């Protein structure tokens, strides 16, 4: 006991003097959490930002999974307080389920990110990085309540400048894994 106390005191002095550096704890961006319990995902539908990390928590003693319908992620079997995290690096609506209990379903909705202004134009970003390994993106726009039209089809480019005059809705989807996501929730951009 005395040796442990002495060892802790020496380590404390070394740290305080700067002779020993402790490894930095990596900063983890807090993102939304989904609880997997009582035979459901809560919330079942979640909207989050591009690049956000969603964490599923599994407090039940009963095993469950979070498995993308399109093959983008699979947590494997989890239970008893385990967690699983996935970062959404592209826009779309991503359906998922518990493979052990197919009635358990959920969705993560990720809109296109827009930066800029009505006077200078916009940058539309539908992915945090260029598509790789077979990942591609489709992007559509529509003016007012008109029909959706292709802005980019089957592209690996993650963003573009947008300066069309008027009020436009923008949506995107991601292809990869073993399927294609649903369309993202639309965002509106207005340009003078």
3-state secondary structure of 10: helix
- At 105, which CATH number? 2.60.40.420
Q: Report yes or no on 17 lying in a domain.
A: no
> Quick one: pLDDT at residue 7?
38
Confirm whether pTM is higher than 0.75: yes
Cα distance between residue 164 and residue 181, in whole Å? 27
Confidence class of residue 177 from pLDDT cuts 50, 70 and 90? confident
Cα distance between residue 150 and residue 165, in whole Å? 17
- At 144, which CATH number? 2.60.40.10
Confidence class of residue 99 from pLDDT cuts 50, 70 and 90? very high
Please say whether the beta carbons of 186 and 111 come within 8 A.
Answer: yes
Give CA torsion, residues 74, 75, 77, 81, to 10 deg.
Answer: -160
Please say whether the beta carbons of 185 and 48 come within 8 A.
Answer: no
102 and 137 belong to one structural domain: no
Count of structural domains within the chain: 2
152 and 168 belong to one structural domain: yes
Tokens matching residue 153: 């089809």
Residues spanned by the domain of 135: 113-191
Mean of the pLDDT values across residues 103-130?
Answer: 97
Please say whether the beta carbons of 151 and 160 come within 8 A.
Answer: yes
Q: How far is CA 97 from CA 1, 76, 83, 94, in A?
A: 51, 12, 16, 10
């Amino acid at each position: 006991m005395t040796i442990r106390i002495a060892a802790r005191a020496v380590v404390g002095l070394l740290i305080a003097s700067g002779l020993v550096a402790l490894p930095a704890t990596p900063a983890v961006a807090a993102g939304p959490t989904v609880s997997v319990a009582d035979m459901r995902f809560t919330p079942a539908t979640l909207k989050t930002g591009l690049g956000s990390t969603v964490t599923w928590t599994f407090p039940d003693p009963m095993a469950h999974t979070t498995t993308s319908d399109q093959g983008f992620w699979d947590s494997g079997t989890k239970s008893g307080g385990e967690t699983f995290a996935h970062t959404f690096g592209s826009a779309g609506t991503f359906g998922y389920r518990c493979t052990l209990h197919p009635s358990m379903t959920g969705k993560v909705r990720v809109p296109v990110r827009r930066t800029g202004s009505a006077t200078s134009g916009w940058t539309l970003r539908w992915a945090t990085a260029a598509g790789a390994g077979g990942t591609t993106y489709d992007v559509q726009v529509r003016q007012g309540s008109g029909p959706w039209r292709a802005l980019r089809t089957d592209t690996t480019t993650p963003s573009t400048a947008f300066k069309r005059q008027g009020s436009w809705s923008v949506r995107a989807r991601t292809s990869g894994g073993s399927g294609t996501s649903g369309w993202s929730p639309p965002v509106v951009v207005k340009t003078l």
